[in-house]
């Protein structure tokens, strides 16, 4: 996960690394069976949640 977060920090809007979630300002990325939900505010990357794929989207 640390490696994936480092990649995202370098290029947070790269469509190969993450995708926009519909009707939110959050983006998501996949790390194995887990998902990372995050937001970008200018130069700061905020990790909103990390959790299993089947459960992470229930909190939205």
CATH of 2-59, one of 2.60.40.790, 3.10.20.30, 3.30.2310.20, 2.40.128.280: 3.30.2310.20
Looking at residue 47, its pLDDT comes to 93
Q: Using 50, 70 and 90 to split pLDDT, how confident is the model at 36? A: very high
- pLDDT at res. 3: 93
Q: How confident is the model at residue 4 (pLDDT cuts 50, 70, 90)?
A: very high
Token pair in block for residue 2: 């640390």
Rounded-to-integer distance, Cα 3 and Cα 28, Å:
15
Read off the pLDDT band of 20 (50, 70, 90).
Answer: very high
Whether the predicted pLDDT of 52 surpasses 90? yes
Which of the four pLDDT bands, split at 50, 70 and 90, describes residue 31? very high
Report residue 37 CA to chain centroid gap: 3
Place of tokens 């998902």: 35
d(CA 55, CA 34): 9
């Amino acid at each position: 996960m640390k490696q994936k977060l480092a990649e995202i920090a370098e290029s947070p809007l790269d469509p190969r690394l993450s995708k926009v979630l519909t009707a939110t300002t959050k983006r998501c990325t996949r790390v194995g069976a887990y998902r990372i939900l995050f937001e970008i505010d200018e130069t700061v990357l905020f990790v909103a949640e990390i959790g299993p794929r089947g459960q992470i989207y229930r909190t939205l």
